[in-house]
Structure 1
């Protein structure tokens, strides 16, 4: 029987409107700060909207790269330096997570057949700049992209393809993206309120994050990506399952792979978009998994919904919560308002969080779940 390969998160980074590195982001979250603001931006929307946006792309852009590619580079360079890994080694893999990539170029008047619109093109450009010799992989799976990218990297390492994989993800909010969500009447006209009885919908957000997954255990306390699974409810192109059974399936399979039970889970980092149907569905899945007493948070009121970066950003925050013993509250939550009663964390909560469930869901009925575990040397 083949021995199980442990996979560890050995470096992490967040580059967002709130702050420009993971440690500073976590400190800001503990202080209750949010990047979500009201924006009167006629180029993006004819009406005011709330979102977490960069003030100026000029501050982001690296010479010769688009804003999207620059975000990937900012986070990837940081984690590569943190982990001190050999990117030129063919045993080092590279994955990009995004939903829209360089789609903003269309609004600048480029042709629809411009090669820069290809996600594979952007991944290749960034990989070459960083010095990778392995072929980059793109994961674009709606709003579960970040979690699927990490699950993919985990499986690559377990299959013996790589010793370590750099996973980076980013998205920017364009007029096209915002108008799409507005057409669903899914955008709140105020800061969003995940899981709250008076929630009105999402806020969108821009940002990027990266992690390095490795089969080599770092010194000291480490965080292990212990399990991960994906499911699809095939309910509707934009509406989630009404029962939560399919997200529960992903949760159950991730827990089975990690070898944990409901009693082992210390915290849940939920998708928590603050839409009526998503939050109800997640509450049902959490109840089906027997986790209704476990503290749950959503970070959408701090970062907005960052699409292909959301799973990565929220995982990195969870890693820092586990290491620092502080669970970030669900900003905007005041009054329970989901189909099933769940334990929504509404104040900064100290504690021992050795095992974390992270969930995500997206258009097309896709769902993903991962299990993070603290690995302490005896």
Structure 2
């Protein structure tokens, strides 16, 4: 089977407008989560990772007129441009895969002189397609909070099927009134910056980000990271609550390991979904233990970014890739005392460690679950 390589990437977030800026900020212990006042909320506001609009527009002005594009479009276009800058791709043969859960949904409450049709995901995909001149019809992936990672997995499957050799995967979501109100109605917003897997966790912090990556079967010199196994399984448990037994996530992990021809004992690192809700973190702990992964160093990136919804699994896959390339484990920020019923090996500080393999997981509303196996290759 051909190698499916994760190549150039970009992250646009409150921590920076490139992957390198984001990693530098994480290593400095910085978090994008800040308190945002809003009297509609019980605590007078909420913690979230929100990109400063003026700063975004200033950066976007290098490639286009910010007044012609929504905030989300600017984020996703910037991320895509950064990936394309470093590649000589034939866009007539390169796939474009778009991932978002809500797209420009904020336009329904604040049109900002844009048509409400811009809120449709196919409109978002068309804007990105036409801005850069992609010729193939964009593929849209919107499957709750596994969307960004699932888009990478789908690109792998299409490349292996011979549909194309290169794909740009770009994901993005905003902290909108719709999303914050929804999670508030679940009483799932944390009163403090979120604390994944901690005993005193009380919910999520939201975040917004865009991320993009080139997925390709074209080998290059130097060390690389390949996606060698993936699986997505739905636990069919509840529209918003995960399976208490972790069945869907467990099956996804088992199937991804089977495709990769690796065992749980060969995993060097585990990047979890880790939303810091009571039920999600418990479900993951159960699934990881069922899969014999309790010993593997594990973290959640949500303490740095908040939950970036459809962008989260792609953003975290990119960070997992760089953990492998840098032989570096990043801490699960804000972790205090383990608060799940099963043992986990939580990463609490930056660690240098020889890494070759990693497992990235994600879960979402509707019972969807995703597991991806990444492997580093050493090339001359």
TM above 0.5, one fold? yes
Following superposition, the deviation at residue 299 of structure 1 comes to 0.4
Among candidates 333, 347, 350, match of residue 349 of structure 2: 347
Q: Structure 2: any 5+ residue segments left out of the alignment?
A: 61-65
For the structure 1 residues 242 and 57, does the alpha-carbon distance in structure 2 shift closer, same or farther, using more than 3 Å as the test? farther
Contact 1:264/1:355, CA 8 A, preserved across alignment = yes
**8 A contact 1:45–1:175 mirrored in 2:** no
Question: Does the 8 Å CA contact 1:44/1:178 hold for their aligned counterparts?
Answer: no
1:6 and 1:15 mapped to 2: Cα distance?
27
- Provide closer, same or farther for how the CA distance between residues 109 and 22 of structure 1 changes in structure 2, counting only shifts above 3 A: closer
Shift of 1:47: 2.5
Alignment counterpart, residue 230 of structure 1, candidates 206, 220, 232? 232
Q: Secondary structure at the match of 1:156?
A: helix
Alignment partner of 1:199: what SS? coil
CA distance in 2, matches of 1:38, 1:112: 29
Q: Distance in 2 between matches of 1:301 and 1:128?
A: 35
Per the TM alignment, residue 58 of structure 1 is displaced from its structure 2 partner at its CA by 6.4
Given candidates 25, 29, 53, the residue that maps to 2:26 is 29
Q: Which is further off, 45-54 or 342-351?
A: 45-54
Provide the rounded CA distance (Å) in 1 between the counterparts of 2:186 and 2:38. 20
Q: How many residues align?
A: 373
Q: Residues 21, 44 of structure 1: CA spacing in aligned structure 2 closer, same or farther, 3 A cutoff?
A: farther
Instruction: Answer yes or no: is the 8 Å Cα contact 2:175–2:206 preserved in 1.
Output: yes
CA–CA distance in structure 2, aligned partners of residues 235 and 65 of structure 1: 39
CA distance in 2, matches of 1:73, 1:337: 39
Q: Secondary structure at 2:189's aligned position in 1?
A: coil
What is residue 77 of structure 1 aligned with on the other side? 81
Kindly report structure 1 stretches of 4+ aligned residues shifted beyond 4 Å.
Answer: 42-46, 109-113
Task: After superposition, give the CA deviation of every residue in 1:25-58 in whole Å (9 maximum; x if it has no partner).
Answer: 1111111111011111458998211111112256
1:203 equivalent in structure 2: 205
- Residue in structure 1 matched with residue 63 of structure 2 by the alignment: none
Q: TM-score, normalised by structure 1?
A: 0.95
* Other-structure match for 1:218: 220
Q: TM-score, normalised by structure 2?
A: 0.95
Change (3 A) 1:253 1:39: same
Task: Give per-residue Cα distances to partners, 1:310-351, cap 9 Å, x unaligned.
Answer: 011111111111111111100111111112111111111110
**More deviation in 52-61 or 159-168?**
52-61
* Contact 1:170–1:207 (CA under 8 A) maintained in structure 2: yes
SS at match of 1:368: strand
Contact between 2:43 and 2:191, CA under 8 Å: does it hold in 1? no
Match of 1:54 among 43, 51, 54: 51
Q: What's 1:178 paired with?
A: 180
Q: C-alpha displacement at 1:376, in angstroms?
A: 0.9
Determine if the alignment matches structure 1 residue 142 to structure 2 residue 139.
no
Cα distance in structure 2, aligned partners of 1:138 and 1:213: 16
Are 1:65 and 2:62 counterparts? no
| Contact kept in structure 1, 2:108 and 2:116, CA below 8 Å | no
**Structure 1 gap segments, 5+ residues each:** none
Q: In 1, distance between residues paired with 2:269 and 2:333?
A: 16
Output aligned runs, 1:33-48, within 5 Å.
33-41=30-38, 47-48=44-45
Displacement after TM superposition at 1:115 (Å): 2.0
Residues 9-24 of structure 1: pairs in structure 2 closer than 5 A:
9-24=6-21
- Alignment partner, residue 376 of structure 1: 378
Residue of 327, 335, 346 corresponding to 2:329: 327
Q: Per-residue displacement from partner, 1:69-104 (whole Å, max 9, x unpaired)?
A: 1111000111111233222x22x1000110010101
Who is 1:121 aligned against? 123
* 2:156 is aligned with 1:154: yes
Shift of 1:176: 1.2
1:102 corresponding residue in structure 2: 104
Measure how far apart 1:377 and its partner are: 2.2
Contact 2:171/2:212 (8 A) holds in 1: yes
Spell out, residue by residue over 1:203-232, the C-alpha distance to the aligned partner (whole angstroms, 9 max, x if none). Answer: 000111111000111210000011111011
**Kept in 1: contact 2:170–2:212 (CA 8 A):** yes
